[in-house]
Amino acid sequence: MERLNGKVALITGGGTGIGEAIARLFAQEGAAVVITGRRKEILERVVGEIERGRGRALAVAGTVTDEAHVQSVVAQTLRTFGKLSILINNAAIGAFGKALHETDDATWDEQLAVNLTGVFRMTRAAVPEMLKAGGGTIVNVSSVAGLIGFPLSAAYSTTKGGLNAFTRCVAMDYAKQGIRCNAVCPGLVETPMAAGLLNDSTRAAPVLATYPLGRAGTPDEVARLVLYLASDESAWVTGSIFPIDGGLTAQ
């Protein structure tokens, strides 16, 4: 349908998992996509496959914890494609398996730096360009861990709860200037971050049993919700937090 025809999307963490699925789907829907991440070879593989499918894509390796990279990727987006229409803040890392009193400062600081401060920096860099263009859309990939309590994940869950609050504040700050901001909160999804759990049937079975639909989600399923929020189909939607979790948080 080419619902993003003429749009330019910047996707952080675009080399694997949900970010990769978003990049591929957006390209199919007509957007030029810029993907970032720490592993250049993985980014270039995704870009190559998009281009072979006659899409337009650019890889810019780096980390959202580096302000110079953040400024550079926005500048390269503008230089290559002329504008920035959509920002998908997807880059994140996980920290699971330790109670709060077992969590060290390094883990806490790294979670905040990537999952929350990185989103702040990318959004701060993108917003001025969207203001110049008369509007834009931002979608933050959060987690159900920001909506309900999970054991042994205090640092990670805190960043996702903060991201949901950040989403609402950005939406309020820029609604009158035509910039919309929403968040999606996936449950357990078949991504590299979840592979350790999902590949261990003994551990995975009781977790999956808590999901009414009885399975993990797929990156493509999350990407389609992100597509809706990034497209003009959701023109009256901003400041909203969308669980996509197989019914987990409906219980």
Report which DSSP code applies to 10. Answer: E
Q: Is residue 228 exposed (0-12), middle (13-18) or buried (19+ Cβ within 10 Å)?
A: middle
What the chain holds in terms of domains, given with CATH numbers, is 8-237 (3.40.50.720)
Q: Is 188 helix (H, G, I), strand (E, B) or coil?
A: coil
pLDDT tens column, 138-171: 999 999 999 999 999 999 999 999 999 999 999 9
Is 156 one of the catalytic residues?
Answer: yes
Q: Of the candidates 33, 26, 28, 62, which has an alpha carbon nearest to the alpha carbon of residue 47?
A: 33
Residue 1 clears pLDDT 90, i.e. is over it: no
Q: Of the candidates 26, 36, 34, which has an alpha carbon nearest to the alpha carbon of residue 5?
A: 26
Q: What is the pTM of this model?
A: 0.97
Catalytic residue chosen out of the listed positions 156, 174, 211, 228: 156
pLDDT tens column, 212-244: 999 999 999 999 999 999 999 999 999 999 999
